[in-house]
């Protein structure tokens, strides 16, 4: 089964030869391979296939060029559409995760293996990311630092944490 990931959203054209600007690229994605098939659409299910010829990353944005799109008029028709790329065609930074991969992960206490909750949101902050864990009674912010996050197993949707003093008292 192929697994496509939403890489970003096309917001505008650049120049007159069909180049586009993609925004909201997750920080975990370093770059995307060139000369690959991608999908463009409002959702992956209803997306159309295109051939990616160039993807150049700039901070949280990227320049995108598709083989089939040769004018700014054609590129304008793709504004506000998502760019979906096969997971295997993405170069990612080590030990980083894309938000949707973390959603639904079960969070366990590394000491006694007790289930504490489930990740429901990710906040990218200047100092460090914060993962929001929903428990039976509250939402708890988990700072993504080595003292708290001990292991992440995306395939099994499990995260092991070490409870710092007062962490479970931080309700959102």
The reply to whether domains 4-92 and 99-169 share a CATH topology is: no
Give me the mean pLDDT over the 16-28 stretch. 90
pLDDT digit string (tens) for 140-152? 999 999 999 999 9
pLDDT digit string (tens) for 109-159? 999 999 999 999 988 888 888 999 999 989 999 999 999 999 999 889 999
Q: Is 52 helix (H, G, I), strand (E, B) or coil?
A: strand
**Residue 95, pLDDT above cutoff 80:** no
What is the CB-side half-sphere exposure of residue 81 using CA atoms within 13 A? 22
- In this prediction, residue 161 has a pLDDT band, given cuts at 50, 70 and 90, of very high
The CATH superfamily label for domain 99-169 reads PRC-barrel domain (2.30.30.240)
Tokens of 117: 């909750």
Distances (CA, A) of 50 to 4, 36, 92: 14, 8, 22
**Residue 1, pLDDT above cutoff 60:** no
- Regarding pTM above 0.85, the answer is no
Distance CA 30, CA 15 (A): 24
Q: Where are the domains of the chain?
A: 4-92, 99-169
Distance CA 32, CA 38 (A): 10
**Residue 170, pLDDT above cutoff 80:** no
- CATH number for the region 4-92 comes to 2.40.30.60
Distance CA 64, CA 122 (A): 26
**Residue 43, pLDDT above cutoff 50:** yes
């Amino acid at each position: 089964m192929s697994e496509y990931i939403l890489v970003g959203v096309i917001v505008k054209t650049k120049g007159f030869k069909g180049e586009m600007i993609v925004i909201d690229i997750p920080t975990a994605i370093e770059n995307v391979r060139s000369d690959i098939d991608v999908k463009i659409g409002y959702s992956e299910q209803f997306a159309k296939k295109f051939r990616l010829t160039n993807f150049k990353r700039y901070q949280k944005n990227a320049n995108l060029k598709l083989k089939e799109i040769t004018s700014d008029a054609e590129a304008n028709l793709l504004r506000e559409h998502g760019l979906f790329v096969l997971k295997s065609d993405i170069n990612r930074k080590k030990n980083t995760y894309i938000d949707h991969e973390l959603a639904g992960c079960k969070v366990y206490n590394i000491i006694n293996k007790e289930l504490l909750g489930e990740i429901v949101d990710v906040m990218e902050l200047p100092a460090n990311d914060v993962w929001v864990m929903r428990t039976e009674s509250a939402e708890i912010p988990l700072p993504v630092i080595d003292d708290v996050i001990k292991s992440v197993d995306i395939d099994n949707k499990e995260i092991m944490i070490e409870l710092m003093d007062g962490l479970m008292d931080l309700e959102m």
